[in-house]
Chain A
Amino acid sequence: MTSAVSFENVSRHFGAVRAVDAVDLDIRPGEFFAMLGPSGSGKTTCLRLIAGFEQPTGGSISIFGERAEGVPPYRRNVNTVFQDYALFPHLNVLDNVAYGLMVKGVSRAERGRQAEEALKLVQLPGYGARKPGQLSGGQRQRVALARALVNKPRVLLLDEPLGALDLKLRENMQEELKLLQRALGITFVFVTHDQGEALSMADRVAVFNDGRIMQVGAPQDIYERPQSRFVADFVGSSNVLPPEFVARHGGARRWASLRPEKIRLGEANGAGVSGTVRARSFLGATNRVTVEAEGVRLHAVVPAGLPLPDDGAETRLSWSPADLHLMEEA
């Protein structure tokens, strides 16, 4: 099966800066693919390489089997939802949505009909006459989505589309985007720095750092079996344990990841260490407790309502050996 998007040894250097460095990547047709990483990790540059706004300095990019280097953005059947939406301020909502059809020469009546349909798809029917300036952030986001989808792209690129929305709206949109992607069957490539968003929405996640892909896999895979310290730390803020520590507590002499929610507080059985409580924070459904043990700071997340030790108190941390995930990185 041909990949929807395929990177072979792709690099994009800006002078001495290696924004994307020798990346190999295969995105399958119809999947919801997330590119996750901190800012400056190269995920957005990868997206721009697919859209055609950037050209690779090395390697080759194929979209559905067709080589895409040197092909300008306007000849790619790929559309983008921009981070700050990039709606045309001088056009009303309907003309914004119909823009792609207009430049392709679709008749006014036909493109009006299709644009109205696209607005219905994103639950903004009847908003066509308004100007982008009269819409809320969430509504603008939907218009940007409709403007991309009306062109029936083979691949839809989303550049941190939910970044500017407040939490409640963001959660709603996450669900809606997921449903939309299922219903349309279009390949979605979603860039985000929010690991929760990536894990909850994507079929597969690529974790970026320093212009390279650290790991690609299903969300569960990434979360439970991080291959490197970076992935363990960035995805779900795992406890990254140094080799000496791991060697003392029943593992090989390797870096290991221990998820905060797998740590139990104040129980003597199982593998464990004693430490001093340094900080506690209330997170709503859970509490996070920071404990210093044998020179390592560990975070434990315990359900709210369980008794918590005081700051400065001695406590015992325990976990079952199976939860201590040894990483490939030495």
Chain B
Amino acid sequence: MSASAVIPAHAPAILPSRGGIAGALSDTFWRRPKVLLFLMLLPPLLWLGIVYLGSLFALLLQSFFSIDEFSGLINRQFTLKTYGDLFQAANLDIIIRTVVMAASVTLASAVVAFPIAYYAARFARGKWKALFYLGIMLPLWSSYLVKIYAWKLILAKEGILTWFLDKLHLGWLLDAWLSLPYVGGNSLSVSFTGTFIVFVYVWLPYMILPIQAALERVPGNLVEASSDLGASPGQTFRNVLFPLALPGIVAGSIFTFSLTLGDYIIPQIIGTSRLFIGQAVYAQQGTAGNIPLAAAFTVVPVVIMGFYLWGAKRMGAFDAL
């Protein structure tokens, strides 16, 4: 069979051109992929650069101004006086309270999230996996405020939790807890314990999802290999699963830690009258009209997160990425 016999008389062109502007544009982009990338990135970069980072720098700038205590006017001269104010006992108290809360919320979230993420990554298949995602995401679909007010009712003295514990004859346990200094209060809804519970509830999905993603990437045969080499399940967790899930835990903790550091609504609605950083910022820029101090307060979480990430990197949390 000769080659010419195979090709029909009116064969399609070997390199057919696609006419029109769209065709020419497609060809240009194909030849110069960087042009396409640049065009696609331009709008978000403008947004990020000007609106987002720009306002952050404006804020940073404000924190180096100070307020005239008599006139209440902003003195636009660079000074570190406002940062000095942060170290006044009342303000330092707010910072420490917020950091301790953020750290406990992060720790509790990690402990609660790990088994859930572990189940989802290693065992859940098909409809159970779908159910897992639904269960994690569903709370995110409803309004944040609605959830917090719902919790206020749950945690109130007349709320379902107190009622339930009473039915279990465990009311004395709750009373004993509430009578403790600092974590206690008249009821859960006006105690730091209540604030803590609601923080953990609200941020938990942000911890579960990154851990699940990290565990998903751990090949199942590493767990088998560890077991094969004589490691008990506990040893396998410590030596294989935990180190490999660490980037996910760190990623999740960045969310829970920084979100708790900045939140001002939850402690406003559930908790004591003692302030957290977010509330201090709100009060300083609103009623007190002290924009520089509000700005300085805002810088605190940014600096803390900077140190946190630096520490996490030093610990090798990002090595397995």
Contacts and interface: CB of A to CB of B under 8 A. Distances in A.
A82 B221 contact: yes
B224 A79 contact: no
Interface string A46-69: 000001110000000000000000
Contacts of B273: none
B244 A80 contact: no
B230 to A, nearest CB: 5
A103 B225 CA distance: 12
B224 A74 contact: no
Contacts, number: 64
A100 interface: yes
B235 A82 contact: no
A88 B228 contact: no
A168 interface: no
A151 interface: yes
A103 B235 contact: yes
A62 to B, nearest CB: 19
A53 B235 contact: no
B12 interface: no
| Band of interface residues on A | 20 to 34
Contacts of B232: 74, 103
Contacts of A82: 221, 224-225
A84 B225 CA distance: 11
B244 A79 contact: no
Contacts of B231: 74, 99, 103
Nearest to B222: A86
Binding site secondary structure of chain B = helix
Given A84-B221, A99-B239, A147 B229 contact: yes
Interface string B207-243: 0000000000001011011111111100100011001
B230 A89 contact: no
Contacts of B227: 52-53, 72-74
Nearest to A80: B228
B224 A151 contact: no
A103 B228 CA distance: 11
A147 B226 CA distance: 11
Nearest to A78: B228
A87 B319 CA distance: 16
B228 A51 contact: yes
A248 interface: no
B157 to A, nearest CB: 49
Give me the 4 closest cross-chain CB pairs, A-B, nearest first: A100-B229, A86-B225, A103-B231, A86-B221
Given A82-B221, A103-B230, 16 more contacts: A73-B224, A74-B229, A74-B230, A74-B231, A74-B232, A78-B228, A86-B221, A89-B244, A89-B320, A90-B244, A99-B239, A100-B230, A103-B229, A103-B231, A103-B239, A151-B230
